[in-house]
């Protein structure tokens, strides 16, 4: 196993371990108040971690080339679930959004799995068109249609954060696959304009933007961000100690999900929060290295896509919690509470490990090996 793959595994294991430790502290108050069980969320998350690790081990041994064959049915199933979540009686509405499908004692969030399916679909298409990616139809219209289908259904939930993430990652794969930059710039500008119009038509999201820009004028809407900043201020360099958070006492909503990074800062301090950022940096660097040294074009695009998905989601979450971005409902990968997000994040890492396993030399009869300057680093 290469150094990049080993570093990737180490970073993921450390983030998972930190997530369990912090969740044990962060979720105890809410668990006791809502379910009369301080360990309610911890036990459920521990179960999801076990399932995710098992799935990750299996997926790391699953030949990534098969995803190229299954791209069409995978896309169809993912889009079907995105449609199903919008149907009353099937999709569950929580907090004004219809993002979950209830399956017995568990809830499935289709948009999380749709992110992975979108990466596979766009990577497979860009590999299929090859050098024709510079053409308008093959390189822009068809793949942007795939991305638009996923993003359009996601924004209807509504889930603006995942929509933005899906669009950015999809276009990044297109760029890596050979789509002309001029085509992407124009398309990106049009897409962002439509995205901003959708925000302006949504009072809740527009309120979050205004609260981000002028928190003193909208103190109620900016409450999350204000309490998050208080958590970091209280934590200082070394933190107030594990389990001693004040903000988790219902001062900071969603402390065990979207804003868990703030509790890390409060309880464990600046040093540990910087360590978390470094670990995500290791995932980014390792993923890029693995994708650059992939044996074939599909492996390169798939590896790049899953790397950008995990890294950008982490960057957006950290940006939101620290007040650098408007509030969005994106969990912190591998750390925040939530089974669907955890499974998909581990699946992305497992895919990278399988790509690394094949290596630049191929080692099978179905890999169309590429040779360029990336393999000489």
Per-residue pLDDT 10s for the chain (377 aa) are 588 999 999 999 999 999 999 999 898 888 888 888 889 999 999 999 999 999 999 999 999 999 999 999 999 999 999 999 999 888 887 766 788 888 777 778 999 999 999 999 999 999 999 999 999 999 999 999 999 999 999 999 888 999 999 999 999 999 999 999 999 999 999 999 999 999 988 888 888 888 888 888 888 888 888 899 999 999 999 999 998 888 888 888 778 888 999 999 999 999 999 999 999 999 999 999 999 999 899 999 999 999 999 999 999 999 999 988 888 778 999 999 988 999 999 999 999 999 999 875 555 555 555 555 444 43
- In a domain? residue 208: no
* Count of structural domains within the chain: 2
**Same domain for 365 and 255:** yes
Which of 201, 231, 264 corresponds to the end of one domain? 201
Token pair of 26 as six digits: 């962060």
Same structural domain, 287 and 165? no
User: Does one domain contain both 327 and 248?
Assistant: yes
Q: Which of 173, 201, 229 is the last residue of a domain?
A: 201
Give yes or no: residues 79 and 50 share one domain.
no
**Domain-located, residue 174:** yes
Last residue of a domain, one of 168, 201, 234: 201
Kindly state whether residue 260 falls inside one of the protein's structural domains.
yes
Same domain, 123 and 11: no
Clarify whether residues 265 and 376 are in a common domain.
Answer: yes
- Is there a domain that residue 30 lies in? yes
Establish if 242 belongs to a structural domain. yes
Q: Are 105 and 197 in the same domain?
A: yes
Q: Answer yes or no: is 357 within a domain.
A: yes
Do 73 and 46 belong together in one domain? no
Q: 230 and 364, same structural domain?
A: yes
Q: What angle do CA 175, 179, 180 make, to 5 degrees?
A: 105
Residue 210 belongs to some domain of the structure: no
Tell me, yes or no, whether 235 and 317 share the same domain. yes
Residue 81's domain comprises 66-201
CA–CA separation, 262 vs 233, rounded Å? 10
- pTM for the model stands at 0.92
Q: Decide if 272 is inside a domain.
A: yes
Same domain, 237 and 357: yes
Do 153 and 280 lie in one domain? The reply is no
């Amino acid at each position: 196993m290469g150094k990049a793959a080993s570093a990737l595994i180490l970073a993921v294991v450390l983030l998972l371990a930190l997530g369990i430790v912090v969740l044990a502290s962060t979720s105890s108050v809410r668990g006791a108040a809502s379910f009369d069980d301080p360990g309610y969320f911890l036990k459920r998350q521990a179960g999801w971690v076990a399932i995710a690790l098992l799935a990750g081990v299996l997926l790391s041994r699953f030949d990534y080339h098969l995803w190229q064959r299954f791209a069409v049915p995978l896309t169809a199933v993912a889009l079907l679930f995105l449609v199903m979540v919008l149907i009353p009686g099937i999709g569950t509405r929580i907090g004004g959004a219809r993002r979950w499908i209830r399956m017995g004692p568990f809830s499935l969030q289709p948009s999380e799995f749709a992110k992975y399916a979108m990466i596979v679909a766009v990577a497979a298409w860009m590999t299929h068109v090859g050098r024709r990616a510079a053409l308008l139809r093959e390189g822009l219209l068809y793949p942007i249609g795939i991305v638009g289908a996923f993003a359009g259904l996601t924004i209807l939930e509504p889930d603006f954060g995942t929509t933005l993430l899906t669009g950015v990652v999809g276009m990044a794969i297109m760029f890596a696959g050979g789509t002309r930059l001029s085509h992407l710039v124009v398309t990106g500008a049009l897409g962002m304009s439509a995205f901003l119009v959708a925000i302006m038509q949504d009072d809740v999201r527009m309120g979050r933007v205004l609260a981000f820009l002028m928190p003193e004028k909208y103190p109620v809407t900016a409450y999350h961000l204000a309490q998050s900043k208080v958590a970091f201020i209280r934590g200082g360099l070394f933190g107030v100690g594990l389990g001693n958070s004040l903000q988790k006492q219902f001062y900071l909503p969603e402390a065990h999900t979207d804003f868990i990074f703030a509790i890390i800062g409060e309880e464990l301090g600046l040093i540990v929060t910087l360590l978390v950022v470094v670990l995500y940096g290791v995932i980014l660097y390792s993923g890029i290295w693995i994708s650059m040294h992939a044996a074939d074009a599909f492996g390169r695009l798939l590896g790049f896509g899953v790397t950008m998905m995990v890294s950008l989601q982490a960057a957006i979450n950290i940006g939101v919690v620290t007040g650098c971005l408007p509030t969005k409902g994106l969990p912190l990968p591998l750390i925040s509470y939530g089974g669907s997000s955890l499974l998909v994040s581990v699946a992305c890492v497992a895919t990278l490990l399988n790509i690394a396993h094949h290596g630049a030399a191929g080692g099978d009869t179905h890999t169309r090996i590429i040779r360029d300057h990336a393999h000489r680093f």
